[in-house]
């Protein structure tokens, strides 16, 4: 098992709460952490967040990505996001805009709100809408070509070096088999066509619309409402909204720009309708 890198604060708390903790080796400490219930882990992480978090909301980024700067070094989130864009572009990413408009491909974060630990993700409005439209298109495809897919792990014939253990052993590959009641080839062709449409036409079109018509807005999505396992998405429409939000006063700035999620639903509905119409009009199956 891969060793978790807990902060010193967490290690001290666990040692204080569990009398035999310091006698355990790294592997045993990992196993013990897994045995704790949600509430016990939550208490430890909440206390740690109070000590390590930055600013008014005790904010931290759990995936700093390309930088290990302190959050105080950034004047605003735009400065941080543009740095991520510059790094990715310099390292060969081909899906990026020619000039910086918005990167924001999702970064995990934690903060404290009303004395409660919040697990979250900073994400772009356009990506959120595109993800939802893609999910609805998958159901649309299922309706057009009803199908079932089975997954099976198959052992490889020759032993290969396991990159995690360094030992030679039989590795497994996953094979899939799809049945579509005689329309397997047509389903495959439609799936390929739909995937190209999504990434070459749909997603760029959604991003262009959001940047033009929804500037300087934020939205908040709460996917779970469990007391100790919540997940919130903090969505930003463009780099103007990012510029108006600082890590030091994250929630205060975010909430000042926050709009109703009904706006997101309306745009999602618009592009799902467009996508269905495009696919039906432009897909042509050739045997």
Catalogue the E-assigned strands of the chain. Answer: 60-61, 107-113, 116-124, 148-155, 160-161, 168-169, 172-179, 218-224, 231-236
Nearest alpha-carbon partner for 251 in 127, 126, 79, 122: 122
Q: Are strands 218-224 and 231-236 parallel, antiparallel or unpaired?
A: antiparallel
Token match 């934020």: residue?
A: 218
Residue ranges in the chain assigned as alpha helix (H):
8-17, 26-35, 38-52, 77-90, 125-144, 184-197, 203-213, 239-243, 250-257, 262-282
Query: pTM of the predicted model, to two decimals?
Result: 0.86
Q: Which two tokens stand for residue 30?
A: 């990992």
Write down how long the chain is: 287
Which pLDDT score, from 0 to 100, does residue 164 have?
66
Token match 């799809």: residue?
A: 178
Q: What is the pLDDT along the chain (287 residues), one digit of tens a residue?
A: 333 556 677 888 888 888 898 888 988 888 898 888 888 888 899 999 999 899 999 999 986 554 557 899 999 999 999 999 998 899 888 788 889 999 998 899 999 999 999 999 999 999 999 999 999 999 999 999 999 988 877 777 777 777 767 777 777 777 888 898 899 999 999 999 999 999 999 999 999 999 999 999 999 999 766 677 788 999 999 999 999 999 999 999 999 999 999 999 999 999 999 999 999 999 998 76
Q: Which two tokens stand for residue 278?
A: 């495009």
Give dist(CA 157, CA 219) in Å, integer. 50
Can you give the residue ranges of every domain in the chain? 56-144+182-282, 146-179
Give dist(CA 83, CA 78) in Å, integer. 8
């Amino acid at each position: 098992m891969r060793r978790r890198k807990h902060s010193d604060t967490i290690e001290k708390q666990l040692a204080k709460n569990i009398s035999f903790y310091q006698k355990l080796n790294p592997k045993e400490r990992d196993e013990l952490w897994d045995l704790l219930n949600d509430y016990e882990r939550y208490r430890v992480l909440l206390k740690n967040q109070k000590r390590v978090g930055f600013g008014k909301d005790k904010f931290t980024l759990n995936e700093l990505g390309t930088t290990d700067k302190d959050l105080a070094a950034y004047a605003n989130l735009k400065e941080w996001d543009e740095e991520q864009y510059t790094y990715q572009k310099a390292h060969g990413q081909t899906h990026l805009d020619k000039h910086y408009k918005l990167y924001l491909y999702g970064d995990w974060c934690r903060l404290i709100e009303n004395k409660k630990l919040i697990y979250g993700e900073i994400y772009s409005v356009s990506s959120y809408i595109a993800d939802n439209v893609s999910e609805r298109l998958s159901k649309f495809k299922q309706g057009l070509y009803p199908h079932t897919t089975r997954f099976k792990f198959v052992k490889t014939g020759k032993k290969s070096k396991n990159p995690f253990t360094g030992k030679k052993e039989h590795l497994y590959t996953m094979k899939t088999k799809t049945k579509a009641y005689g329309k397997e080839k047509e389903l495959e062709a439609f799936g390929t066509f739909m995937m190209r449409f999504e990434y070459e036409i749909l997603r760029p079109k959604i991003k262009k619309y959001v940047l033009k018509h929804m500037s300087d807005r934020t939205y908040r999505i709460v996917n779970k409402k469990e007391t100790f396992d919540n997940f919130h998405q903090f969505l930003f429409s463009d780099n103007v909204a990012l510029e108006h939000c600082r890590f030091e006063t994250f929630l205060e700035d975010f909430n000042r720009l926050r709009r109703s999620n009904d706006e997101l639903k309306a745009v999602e509905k618009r592009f799902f309708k467009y996508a269905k119409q495009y696919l039906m009009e432009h897909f042509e199956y050739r045997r």
